Amino acid sequence: MRRAIFLDRDGVLNRAFVRNGKPYPPQDVSALEILPLVPEALERLRSAKFLLIVVTNQPDVARGAVTKDDVERINSVLKAKLPLDDFVTCYHDDADNCICRKPKPGLLLQARDKFGIDMARSFMVGDRWRDIAAGSKAGCQTVFINYHYNETQPEPGSFDFSCASLDEAVSWILSRPRQPD
Protein backbone atom coordinates (compact mmCIF):
# COMPACT_ATOMS: atom_id res chain seq x y z
CA MET A 1 0.00 0.00 0.00
CA ARG A 2 1.11 3.54 -0.72
CA ARG A 3 1.86 6.46 1.58
CA ALA A 4 0.23 9.84 1.04
CA ILE A 5 0.26 13.39 2.23
CA PHE A 6 -3.24 14.84 2.27
CA LEU A 7 -3.09 18.61 1.96
CA ASP A 8 -5.73 21.20 2.58
CA ARG A 9 -5.65 23.80 -0.20
CA ASP A 10 -6.29 27.32 1.08
CA GLY A 11 -3.79 28.32 3.75
CA VAL A 12 -1.55 25.32 3.10
CA LEU A 13 -0.68 25.56 -0.61
CA ASN A 14 -1.97 29.02 -1.45
CA ARG A 15 -2.63 32.17 0.51
CA ALA A 16 -5.95 32.36 2.31
CA PHE A 17 -7.46 35.82 2.60
CA VAL A 18 -8.03 36.61 6.27
CA ARG A 19 -10.91 38.93 7.14
CA ASN A 20 -11.93 39.53 10.74
CA GLY A 21 -9.58 36.72 11.74
CA LYS A 22 -11.22 34.11 9.48
CA PRO A 23 -9.63 32.61 6.33
CA TYR A 24 -11.30 32.70 2.91
CA PRO A 25 -10.23 31.16 -0.42
CA PRO A 26 -9.24 33.16 -3.47
CA GLN A 27 -12.31 33.98 -5.54
CA ASP A 28 -10.65 33.23 -8.87
CA VAL A 29 -7.31 32.47 -10.52
CA SER A 30 -6.28 36.15 -10.56
CA ALA A 31 -6.23 36.15 -6.73
CA LEU A 32 -4.30 32.85 -6.45
CA GLU A 33 -0.91 33.13 -4.74
CA ILE A 34 1.16 30.03 -3.97
CA LEU A 35 2.75 30.37 -0.53
CA PRO A 36 6.55 30.69 -0.17
CA LEU A 37 8.54 27.43 -0.18
CA VAL A 38 5.50 25.32 -1.11
CA PRO A 39 6.94 24.03 -4.42
CA GLU A 40 10.20 23.06 -2.72
CA ALA A 41 8.41 21.41 0.21
CA LEU A 42 6.24 19.36 -2.13
CA GLU A 43 9.28 18.27 -4.15
CA ARG A 44 10.88 17.00 -0.93
CA LEU A 45 7.77 14.90 -0.24
CA ARG A 46 7.69 13.68 -3.85
CA SER A 47 11.36 12.61 -3.52
CA ALA A 48 10.38 10.60 -0.43
CA LYS A 49 7.81 8.74 -2.59
CA PHE A 50 4.64 10.18 -1.03
CA LEU A 51 1.49 10.65 -3.08
CA LEU A 52 0.38 14.30 -2.80
CA ILE A 53 -3.38 14.67 -2.65
CA VAL A 54 -5.30 17.89 -2.03
CA VAL A 55 -8.50 17.46 0.00
CA THR A 56 -10.47 20.68 0.09
CA ASN A 57 -13.84 21.97 1.25
CA GLN A 58 -15.19 24.63 -1.13
CA PRO A 59 -18.59 25.54 0.38
CA ASP A 60 -18.69 28.89 -1.42
CA VAL A 61 -19.99 26.94 -4.44
CA ALA A 62 -23.06 25.79 -2.47
CA ARG A 63 -23.42 29.32 -1.06
CA GLY A 64 -23.39 30.83 -4.56
CA ALA A 65 -20.30 33.00 -3.92
CA VAL A 66 -18.18 31.25 -6.60
CA THR A 67 -18.81 28.74 -9.34
CA LYS A 68 -17.58 25.18 -9.50
CA ASP A 69 -15.68 26.21 -12.66
CA ASP A 70 -13.83 28.93 -10.68
CA VAL A 71 -12.74 26.36 -8.08
CA GLU A 72 -11.69 23.87 -10.75
CA ARG A 73 -9.67 26.54 -12.59
CA ILE A 74 -7.79 27.32 -9.37
CA ASN A 75 -7.20 23.60 -8.81
CA SER A 76 -5.96 23.22 -12.40
CA VAL A 77 -3.46 26.06 -12.02
CA LEU A 78 -2.17 24.59 -8.77
CA LYS A 79 -1.82 21.15 -10.36
CA ALA A 80 0.07 22.67 -13.30
CA LYS A 81 2.48 24.56 -11.04
CA LEU A 82 2.94 22.05 -8.22
CA PRO A 83 3.78 18.31 -8.12
CA LEU A 84 0.31 17.18 -7.01
CA ASP A 85 -1.25 13.81 -7.81
CA ASP A 86 -4.92 14.56 -7.32
CA PHE A 87 -7.61 16.90 -5.97
CA VAL A 88 -10.64 15.66 -4.06
CA THR A 89 -13.11 18.49 -3.52
CA CYS A 90 -16.31 18.87 -1.50
CA TYR A 91 -18.63 21.57 -2.87
CA HIS A 92 -21.23 21.23 -0.10
CA ASP A 93 -22.04 23.39 2.91
CA ASP A 94 -22.59 22.13 6.47
CA ALA A 95 -26.38 22.03 6.01
CA ASP A 96 -25.98 19.46 3.22
CA ASN A 97 -24.69 16.94 5.79
CA CYS A 98 -22.66 15.11 3.14
CA ILE A 99 -20.08 12.44 3.93
CA CYS A 100 -17.29 14.26 2.11
CA ARG A 101 -17.20 17.62 3.92
CA LYS A 102 -14.40 17.85 6.46
CA PRO A 103 -14.43 17.23 9.47
CA LYS A 104 -15.88 13.99 8.12
CA PRO A 105 -13.19 11.79 6.54
CA GLY A 106 -14.99 11.13 3.24
CA LEU A 107 -12.54 13.00 0.98
CA LEU A 108 -9.57 11.14 2.43
CA LEU A 109 -11.35 7.80 2.21
CA GLN A 110 -12.21 8.43 -1.46
CA ALA A 111 -8.52 8.98 -2.18
CA ARG A 112 -7.56 5.94 -0.08
CA ASP A 113 -9.81 3.73 -2.16
CA LYS A 114 -8.70 5.23 -5.47
CA PHE A 115 -4.95 4.96 -4.80
CA GLY A 116 -4.63 2.09 -2.31
CA ILE A 117 -3.30 4.26 0.51
CA ASP A 118 -2.11 3.00 3.88
CA MET A 119 -3.70 5.59 6.17
CA ALA A 120 -1.57 4.72 9.21
CA ARG A 121 1.56 5.66 7.23
CA SER A 122 0.01 8.82 5.81
CA PHE A 123 -0.40 12.41 7.01
CA MET A 124 -3.06 15.11 6.84
CA VAL A 125 -1.71 18.69 6.78
CA GLY A 126 -4.18 21.50 7.39
CA ASP A 127 -4.68 24.92 8.92
CA ARG A 128 -8.14 24.45 10.46
CA TRP A 129 -9.73 22.16 13.03
CA ARG A 130 -11.82 20.47 10.31
CA ASP A 131 -8.65 19.26 8.56
CA ILE A 132 -7.23 17.81 11.76
CA ALA A 133 -10.51 16.09 12.69
CA ALA A 134 -10.88 14.57 9.21
CA GLY A 135 -7.31 13.29 9.22
CA SER A 136 -7.71 11.77 12.67
CA LYS A 137 -11.00 10.09 11.76
CA ALA A 138 -9.38 8.66 8.61
CA GLY A 139 -6.53 7.18 10.67
CA CYS A 140 -3.76 9.55 9.54
CA GLN A 141 -1.14 11.36 11.53
CA THR A 142 -2.01 15.07 11.54
CA VAL A 143 -0.05 18.28 11.21
CA PHE A 144 -1.66 21.59 12.15
CA ILE A 145 -0.33 24.75 10.48
CA ASN A 146 -1.34 27.31 13.07
CA TYR A 147 -2.11 30.78 11.77
CA HIS A 148 -4.02 31.68 14.95
CA TYR A 149 -7.28 32.31 13.12
CA ASN A 150 -10.11 33.82 15.14
CA GLU A 151 -12.25 30.69 15.00
CA THR A 152 -12.54 27.26 16.59
CA GLN A 153 -9.08 25.74 16.96
CA PRO A 154 -8.16 22.06 17.16
CA GLU A 155 -8.06 20.75 20.70
CA PRO A 156 -4.54 20.52 22.15
CA GLY A 157 -3.39 16.94 21.72
CA SER A 158 -5.74 16.31 18.79
CA PHE A 159 -2.87 16.69 16.29
CA ASP A 160 0.56 15.12 16.13
CA PHE A 161 2.54 18.27 15.32
CA SER A 162 1.92 22.03 15.11
CA CYS A 163 3.98 24.45 13.05
CA ALA A 164 3.86 27.72 11.11
CA SER A 165 4.29 26.57 7.48
CA LEU A 166 4.17 23.65 5.07
CA ASP A 167 7.97 23.73 4.92
CA GLU A 168 8.14 23.10 8.70
CA ALA A 169 5.48 20.40 8.39
CA VAL A 170 7.50 18.61 5.70
CA SER A 171 10.70 18.73 7.78
CA TRP A 172 8.83 17.09 10.66
CA ILE A 173 7.17 14.47 8.44
CA LEU A 174 10.48 13.52 6.84
CA SER A 175 12.14 13.22 10.27
CA ARG A 176 9.63 10.53 11.34
CA PRO A 177 10.85 6.93 11.40
CA ARG A 178 9.75 5.31 8.15
CA GLN A 179 7.91 2.05 8.32
CA PRO A 180 8.93 -0.46 5.66
CA ASP A 181 6.89 -0.61 2.44
pLDDT in tens, 2-35: 999 999 999 999 999 999 999 999 999 999 999 9
User: 139: alpha, beta or left, given left = phi > 0 and alpha = psi -120 to 50?
Assistant: left
User: Catalytic residue at 131?
Assistant: no
Checking if the pLDDT of 181 tops 70, the result is no
Residue 180 lies in a domain: no
135 closest CA partner among 8, 50, 34, 25: 8
pLDDT tens digits for 155-167?
A: 989 999 999 999 9
Q: How many domains does the chain have?
A: 1
In terms of Cβ atoms closer than 10 Å to its own Cβ (0-12, 13-18, 19+), residue 162 is: middle
Residue 128 lies in a domain: yes
pLDDT at 180: 61
Residue 36 lies in a domain: yes
Pick the catalytic residue from 10, 70, 131, 160.
Answer: 10
Distance CA 138, CA 135 (A): 5
Residue 115 lies in a domain: yes
Query: Would you tell me the crossing angle of helices 129-138 and 106-115 to the nearest 10 degrees?
Result: 50
Residue 23 lies in a domain: yes
Residue 122 lies in a domain: yes
User: Catalytic residue at 85?
Assistant: no
Residue-number span of the structural domain to which 133 is assigned: 6-149+158-175
Distance CA 174, CA 45 (A): 8
How does DSSP classify residue 32?
-
Pick the catalytic residue from 8, 70, 127, 131.
Answer: 8
Residue 181 lies in a domain: no
Q: Quick one: average pLDDT of 110-136?
A: 98
pLDDT tens digits for 36-45?
A: 999 999 999 9
Strand 22-24 and strand 161-163: the pairing is unpaired
Mean pLDDT of the chain: 96
Q: Are 37 and 45 in contact (CB under 8 A)?
A: no
Distance CA 34, CA 49 (A): 22
Residue 1 lies in a domain: no
Distance CA 134, CA 164 (A): 20
CATH number for position 20: 3.40.50.1000
